[in-house]
Amino acid sequence: MTLGKKHPGLWAILGLGSIGSLWAGRFLDKNIPVELLFKNQTRLEAIKNNGLTIHQDKESVTHHPEDLHTCDSPGAPIHNLIITTKAQQTLPALHTLAHRINTNTTLILLQNGMGVAQEIQKQLPHNPLFLGITTEGAYRTAPHTVVYAGKGDTWVGSANMQKLAALHTLQAINQHCFWDENIHPRLWQKFAINCAINGLTVLFQCKNGELLQNKQACEQMAKICLEIENVLNKKGIQLSESLLKTASNIAERTSDNYSSMLQDFRAQRDLELDYLNAYLCREAARLNVETPHNQALVESIKQLTEARRSESTKLTNKPPFT
Ligand SMILES: NC(=O)c1ccc[n+]([C@@H]2O[C@H](COP(=O)([O-])OP(=O)(O)OC[C@H]3O[C@@H](n4cnc5c(N)ncnc54)[C@H](OP(=O)(O)O)[C@@H]3O)[C@@H](O)[C@H]2O)c1
């Protein structure tokens, strides 16, 4: 396979976390040149020194990528940029990479949440922008080690009615990557499920499946789902069954998982909340749809986050040996 070989700098990945590392591994598996872009030197060194290891089904592969740079390093314009940062990290990350993005740079945004695409379009109105969503599951056990925990499909479509010239490369390295001519409903459906589950797992500090065993959580999920459906209805987006049913099935299927939002909360990282339930509430307000339960959920999570922050500040400021 010689895809991309004649074009150094053809592909780059921004956001070498769980999902970004899976994609990096796929390029490296096929010997397709790919540049890996890091936030800082520490992250870069972790992979430079240890390689990038991907565990799957009791097997593991370690790649030794050579083309590693921090986002602020000088470099040629990027042709195709796969963006796998968390939603709230995306604009700051793109800012540090601005010197490598020109109007020909194709941006492929592979993440959960809503609102980032509009933010990108405001900043980079002329760039071809593609949006992707995945049902794959992965998590990091170290900065250079990723567990590919759940196989799934990735769907990509255009944000601005363009064709993705490089789609064949994505499909050549991932047979479970598909084109969707109208990606927006699919993005909204995944968004709806994330809104129905993730925030509640933070509120109740539980695994996905435990939501279904908690009467209060079940009642709240039902109310939240109804509001989300009202917003989707107003936008003309159809669901094949009730959101509560889909979300409950997914919580059941992933019952032993901690949602990414709960993992981020526990690791004291920023949450994708502004691009999930908080985005839903903003969109609902624009469409004159009431979403008091989603609003209350957003407020509760913000309070929890604030409380956790001041608690950890207190601990940090504590004099030793008290
Ligand atoms: N993981 C899953 O199973 C899964 C499944 C479906 C969808 N998703 C979605 O896919 C997206 C990515 O998720 P993920 O789990 O892969 O997240 P993740 O593991 O947190 O990866 C995000 C990566 O972006 C990097 N990053 C942050 N700011 C950056 C910057 N300024 N410059 C360069 N890199 C930067 C982070 O680096 P640091 O670690 O140094 O901060 C991290 O490596 C999210 O929207 C998530 O909801 C994830």
pLDDT digits (tens, 9 = 90+) for 261-308: 999 999 999 999 999 999 999 999 999 999 999 999 999 999 999 998
Which of 16, 19, 108, 110 for mutating ligand 1's site (highest number of atoms within 8 Å of CB)? 19
Class of domain 185-314: mainly alpha
Is residue 133 pLDDT above 50, yes or no?
A: yes
Residue nearest to atom 32 of ligand 1 (CA): 39
Domains of the chain, residue spans: 11-181, 185-314
Class of domain 11-181: alpha beta
Cβ contacts of 269 within 8 Å, gap of 6 or more: none
Residues with CB under 6 A from ligand 1: 14-20, 37-39, 43, 71, 84-87, 89, 92-93, 96, 111-113, 134, 136-140, 260, 272
Mean pLDDT of 84-96: 98
DSSP secondary structure code for residue 319 in this structure: P
pTM: 0.94
- Between 56 and 6, name the one with better pLDDT: 56
Compute the distance between CA of residue 312 and CA of residue 27 in angstroms, rounded to an integer.
Answer: 40
Residue pLDDT, tens place only, 47-86: 999 999 999 998 999 999 999 999 999 999 999 999 999 9
Q: Which among 48, 190, 207, 234 is annotated as catalytic?
A: 190
Give the start-end residues of each E strand in 21-136. 35-38, 52-56, 59-63, 68-70, 80-83, 106-110, 129-134
Mean pLDDT of 222-239: 97
Specify the pLDDT at position 1.
Answer: 39
Cβ contacts of 254 within 8 Å, gap of 6 or more: 137, 208, 209
Q: How far is the CA of 289 from the centre of ligand 1 (A)?
A: 31
Specify the pLDDT at position 315.
Answer: 63
Beta-bridge partner residues of 109? 83, 131
Is residue 126 pLDDT above 90, yes or no?
A: yes
Whether 190 is a known active-site residue: answer yes
